[in-house]
Structure 1
Amino acid sequence: MAIKTKLSLTIFLFFLLALLCSNLAIARKEKDPELTTCKDECDQQGQYDEEDKRICMEKCEDYVRKKQERQKHKEHEKEEHEEEEENENPYVFENKDFETKIDTKDGRILILNKFHEKSKLLKNIENYGLAVLEIKANAFLSPHHYDSEAILFNIKGKGIIGLVAEDQTERFNLEEGDLIRVPAGTPTYLVNRDENEKLLIAAFHLPPSSGSAPVNLEPFFESGGRRPESVLSTFSSKVLQAALKSSERELETVLDEQQKGRIFKIAKEDVLSLAPKRSLWPFGGTFKGPFNIRNNNPAFSNQFGTLFEVGPSLEKTGLEGLNLMLTFANITKGSMSTIHYNTNANKIAFVVNGEGDFEMACPHMPSSSSNSKQKKSSISYHNINAKLKPGMVFVVPAGHPYVNIASKKNNLLILCFEVNAQRNKKLAFAGKKNIMSALDKTAKELAFDLAAEKVDKIFERKEELFFPYDEERKEERGRAFV
């Protein structure tokens, strides 16, 4: 009997110790006043024996635990909601999405790469990146290279580009509308040869033709200086002394002398001395010179807009062998593009000038419906839209119908890099050539449950690709019509 009593007491003490440890852990974790109050009430019930009190306290803990779980669930839902709000428009990038890689009083370099980090919906363009170079009048961007290939497009201003081969430097003038291909690893410098206007260049980066890894837009500066440092200064002094056959003091003088930063103003005579004497290409130079996008007739033009295209099939452009097309659209103020989509190409668009609107249909965004069964059993298209202004970037994946609209104040100019451009077609929903009118009569009538003539009347119009944009719908007999 004594042994049984001692055993029961031991078990009770063990249980009590475990319960206290558990209560202390919970108290430390949450310090919930409700749990303390609830347990005090259990302990003060005179009619309860120890077993009743234990059960009462367990119910207190169970209640508080469930309350904490509900709170965590609400917090998780709130985080998901905030994340959805943040990524409500994953296809549009504004100034805050750019990283300033170089910033001096005479210019800066902004980069936008790793598109897929903003949203998994952009994974199909994760191997590409975009940089914007702004160089003020008579300024110089020091020699540097990237481990990616680049297509430079001169948006605005007059420049000089120097491309360093193994045994010489080739220099070319850059005019507005020029594009030039810079092979991976090529040391490159840029000069703004205008005395007043800023030089603005868009640089589209893609993996070298032999690779497919995502680009990493970190420039390697070969020249001296510490802001940022030269790649040479990374190596140990002993290695540099042996490789360059120079003393430590001589090396410090050469590598540390330049203190102006990576973009800095230069004298007018230095600008003139850097001007190309003659264009080497196509007379045996290593690099192909610039190709102006306006050299060819526009792919399409009417009073409502103009579209220039340069693709891999066009010779002497520098895009040979690349699955890339470069387009430049000028949409007249108060006009719009038709609703259309690319069959193969993913479009990365940079707003050069003007203001307007962008709308796109996307089936991949989460539905706002709270009915989970409805989400699984139906297709819901999300309207992606944005107010466009200079410097913004938007992405249009292949197959996604979209439209661009210019404001009434000024023309909307958009530069586009279209990847996976081979065999791509632009298919329109409205205009002189559209897929609705091209649909055979029987299929058209079945799809719309209307006479084919009525369907054609809606989708056909005399204009093609670019239309006037009427914000206010006309009314006839109380019914809206197009």
Structure 2
Amino acid sequence: MASTEMKARFPLLLLLGILFLASVSVCYGIVSHDKEDDDRRPWWPEPEREEEKHHQRTRGSEEGEKEERERHQEPGHRERARQEGEKEEDERQPWWQPGRGEEEGEWRGSRRLEDPDERERVRERTERAKKWRRETEERDTPRRPHHRESEEEEGSSSSSSSESSRRSQRRNPFYFRSSSSRFQTRFQNEYGYVRVLQRFDERSKLFENLQNYRIFEFKAKPHTVVLPHHNDADSIVVILSGKAIITLVNPNDRESFNLERGDVLVHPAGTIAYVANHDDNENLRIAKIIIPVNRPGEFQAFYPSNTEPQESYLNGFSRNILEASFNAEYNEIERVLLRGGEQRQEQGLIVKVSRDLIQQLSRHAKSSSRKRTSSEPEPFNLRSRDPIYSNEFGKHFEINPNRNSQLRDFDIFLSSTEIRESIFLPHYNSRSTVILVVNEGRGEFELVAQRKQQQQRRNEEDEEEEEEQPRIEAQRFRARLSPGDVVVIPAGHPVAINASSDLNFIAFGINAENNQRHFLAGGDDNVISQIEKVVKEIAFPGSAEDIERLIKNQRNSHFANAQPQQREEGGHGRRGPLSSILGAFTK
């Protein structure tokens, strides 16, 4: 029985044995095939592995260059760039991570810098970047006059160059264009306008000492009146054009003055004043310098009458105060003083009046004396004395505090300058900051300031360390001048003004006491000529004889022809040794 069962199971066991041997044979064949593939793999590289190696090399190169750029970034920017780079790297990582051995085998940017050849290449790239930055700064600085001047001179023929010139002038802190938004219009209607220049200290920190001075401009058509008002500020009024009747009202009396071009009147704070243009044809134009008495740089006008843009300050009082003050019923006070006519309210602060009313105002007005510069609190004229500088090319009139006690109270001088298509020679003021207001004509000014430029040089002892050496450079600012423009000239800053037509401007000199004007060229008042010869030879590249000859080339003083005499005679003159001084004034 048992043998019968064994015989029955034998075919099954035989089949299982055959299957076992077949499976072993198949497994051995697969292993042998894999081994042969491994032996052949160096001769037939897989594309994916090659791309992976190329990616690692590229990534290492990119990371090295990235580290190089990060060394030139600020710490804050470098940290933000690092975080963003890590974020982007995380996003680029595949789902699998390399093993530690593979990661250590990659040639990353930090490892690349350990190689001497690679460090040399990085250093060369760094030097090229520094050189490129220096060349860019030198190209953009005003010391490269040819490029900057060509932009401005071609402004009339090229819209892009004109826009570049306007941008250059907007960057000029010393220049305020008449048509710019820096002038704040406080009132305007069909009969005229009132506007104020922005605070000087808001434009630049250079003008912090001017924070309590403001420039005010006013224009009114013929037969108009500016309504009575007072300011919480002192002001010095200069008539630019037209004819004015200005009345100052004091507690016990009033004074009216007939004023015309060049006349000056001091308007004290709190004094009520009203102005009339009594000319039949010409507009009245006035410039003021205002000195606030409450808050530095801020002032207000107070009107006792109601107008459309401004309410009467009497409206601010209570009914009881008004009734007790005027000893009258409030209805009558309102009807007489506060309500006013609708037509007059609509006209605003500048109103149109009849010729008869203008004549009534002028009957008792006094005229300014052209010879008056005394201490009397009355108007005076800028041309009341002979000009302090005068020749065929121009005239300069000036009234300083030593000649007028009214100006002494403010420590301000006033001047009026006329240039006849010529040049006001380079000069500077020793103590005064000058605020110049263009009245008529056109021209351009050039002002020289100074700035520190940081130059980076490689340390000889340690090439990877850098030291900064400040260098003072002359920086030139220039702008074209037109009527209404304002220019600020700080003390000690050389300036020259070139008139392309007959140019007239007035100026307010702040800190006028003991101020002196020093000219850098010309026959008289030339401070360069007063330097001893031996010192000139030390300071300038030319010999003492060459320097003296150059200084004497300009025979005119203060004002001179805008075209050099050598150019008129055929250009036989040679370049002088004082170009280091006046180089910033090149044309």
Which band: TM-score by shorter chain? 0.7 to 0.9
* CA–CA separation in structure 2 for the residues paired with 1:192 and 1:451: 61
Pick closer, same or farther for the CA change 1:293–1:387 going to 2, 3 Å: same
Whether 1:256 and 2:345 are equivalent positions in the alignment is: no
- 1:299 aligned to 372, 388, 398, which one? 388
State whether residues 258 and 368 of structure 2, in contact with CA within 8 Å, keep that contact through their aligned partners in structure 1.
no
Worse-superposed segment, 451-460 or 390-399: 451-460
Whether 1:129 and 2:222 are equivalent positions in the alignment is: no
3-state SS of 2:410 partner: coil
Equivalent residue pairs, number: 409
State whether residues 169 and 175 of structure 2, in contact with CA within 8 Å, keep that contact through their aligned partners in structure 1.
no
Pick closer, same or farther for the CA change 1:456–1:477 going to 2, 3 Å: closer
String of CA shifts for 1:239-266, please: whole Å, max 9, x gaps: 4344334444334332131412100111
3-state SS of 2:409 partner: coil
Pick closer, same or farther for the CA change 1:38–1:307 going to 2, 3 Å: same
Alignment-derived partner of residue 268 in structure 2: 183
* CA–CA separation in structure 1 for the residues paired with 2:494 and 2:367: 43
String of CA shifts for 1:75-101, please: whole Å, max 9, x gaps: xxxxxxxxx978621110013111001
Alignment-derived partner of residue 104 in structure 2: none
String of CA shifts for 1:121-179, please: whole Å, max 9, x gaps: 11121111110110110000011111111110011001100101012221111111100
Whether 1:273 and 2:355 are equivalent positions in the alignment is: no
Alignment-derived partner of residue 437 in structure 2: 350
* CA–CA separation in structure 2 for the residues paired with 1:281 and 1:87: 40
Whether 1:159 and 2:244 are equivalent positions in the alignment is: yes
TM-score, scaled to structure 2: 0.64
Shift of 1:457: 1.6
String of CA shifts for 1:341-381, please: whole Å, max 9, x gaps: 000110000000111010011014x75x7759897521112
Pick closer, same or farther for the CA change 1:477–1:175 going to 2, 3 Å: closer
Alignment-derived partner of residue 216 in structure 1: 298
AA at the equivalent of 2:434? K
Alignment-derived partner of residue 283 in structure 2: 198
* CA–CA separation in structure 2 for the residues paired with 1:353 and 1:398: 25
Whether 1:90 and 2:173 are equivalent positions in the alignment is: yes
State whether residues 415 and 506 of structure 2, in contact with CA within 8 Å, keep that contact through their aligned partners in structure 1.
yes
* CA–CA separation in structure 2 for the residues paired with 1:304 and 1:478: 22
- 1:382 aligned to 465, 469, 475, which one? 475
- What does 1:458-473 correspond to in 2, within 5 Å? 458-460=550-552, 461-470=554-563
Bigger fraction of residues in helix? 2
AA at the equivalent of 2:303? F
Shift of 1:207: 4.4
* CA–CA separation in structure 1 for the residues paired with 2:517 and 2:395: 15
- What does 1:225-240 correspond to in 2, within 5 Å? 225-240=307-322
Alignment-derived partner of residue 400 in structure 2: 311
Worse-superposed segment, 373-382 or 350-359: 373-382
State whether residues 158 and 176 of structure 1, in contact with CA within 8 Å, keep that contact through their aligned partners in structure 2.
yes
Pick closer, same or farther for the CA change 1:197–1:374 going to 2, 3 Å: farther
State whether residues 171 and 276 of structure 1, in contact with CA within 8 Å, keep that contact through their aligned partners in structure 2.
no
* CA–CA separation in structure 1 for the residues paired with 2:536 and 2:203: 39
CA RMSD of superposed structures (Å): 3.3
Shift of 1:445: 1.5
Alignment-derived partner of residue 431 in structure 1: 522
TM-score, scaled to structure 1: 0.77
State whether residues 180 and 290 of structure 1, in contact with CA within 8 Å, keep that contact through their aligned partners in structure 2.
yes
State whether residues 173 and 204 of structure 2, in contact with CA within 8 Å, keep that contact through their aligned partners in structure 1.
yes
User: Runs of 5+ in structure 2 lacking a partner?
Assistant: 1-82, 100-166, 370-374, 458-465, 579-587
Pick closer, same or farther for the CA change 1:288–1:250 going to 2, 3 Å: same
Pick closer, same or farther for the CA change 1:34–1:188 going to 2, 3 Å: same
State whether residues 345 and 419 of structure 1, in contact with CA within 8 Å, keep that contact through their aligned partners in structure 2.
yes
Pick closer, same or farther for the CA change 1:374–1:468 going to 2, 3 Å: farther
* CA–CA separation in structure 2 for the residues paired with 1:33 and 1:378: 37
* CA–CA separation in structure 1 for the residues paired with 2:483 and 2:446: 17
State whether residues 430 and 459 of structure 1, in contact with CA within 8 Å, keep that contact through their aligned partners in structure 2.
yes
3-state SS of 1:271 partner: helix
Shift of 1:338: 0.8
* CA–CA separation in structure 2 for the residues paired with 1:377 and 1:35: 38
Pick closer, same or farther for the CA change 1:173–1:331 going to 2, 3 Å: same
3-state SS of 1:442 partner: helix
* CA–CA separation in structure 2 for the residues paired with 1:477 and 1:163: 61
AA at the equivalent of 2:447? M
State whether residues 566 and 573 of structure 2, in contact with CA within 8 Å, keep that contact through their aligned partners in structure 1.
no
Pick closer, same or farther for the CA change 1:288–1:374 going to 2, 3 Å: farther
- Give percent identity, aligned residues only: 30
Pick closer, same or farther for the CA change 1:170–1:145 going to 2, 3 Å: same
Larger radius of gyration: 2
Whether 1:102 and 2:165 are equivalent positions in the alignment is: no
Shift of 1:276: 4.5
Whether 1:328 and 2:416 are equivalent positions in the alignment is: yes
String of CA shifts for 1:154-209, please: whole Å, max 9, x gaps: 1100110010101222111111110011111111110000111100011111245x
Alignment-derived partner of residue 422 in structure 1: 513
3-state SS of 1:458 partner: helix
AA at the equivalent of 1:123? E
Shift of 1:420: 0.5
* CA–CA separation in structure 2 for the residues paired with 1:318 and 1:445: 46
* CA–CA separation in structure 2 for the residues paired with 1:326 and 1:202: 12
3-state SS of 2:536 partner: helix
AA at the equivalent of 2:266? R
Alignment-derived partner of residue 401 in structure 1: 494
Shift of 1:311: 1.1
State whether residues 157 and 197 of structure 1, in contact with CA within 8 Å, keep that contact through their aligned partners in structure 2.
yes
3-state SS of 1:216 partner: coil
* CA–CA separation in structure 2 for the residues paired with 1:100 and 1:377: 43
State whether residues 304 and 331 of structure 1, in contact with CA within 8 Å, keep that contact through their aligned partners in structure 2.
yes
Shift of 1:479: 5.1
AA at the equivalent of 2:232? D
AA at the equivalent of 1:233? N
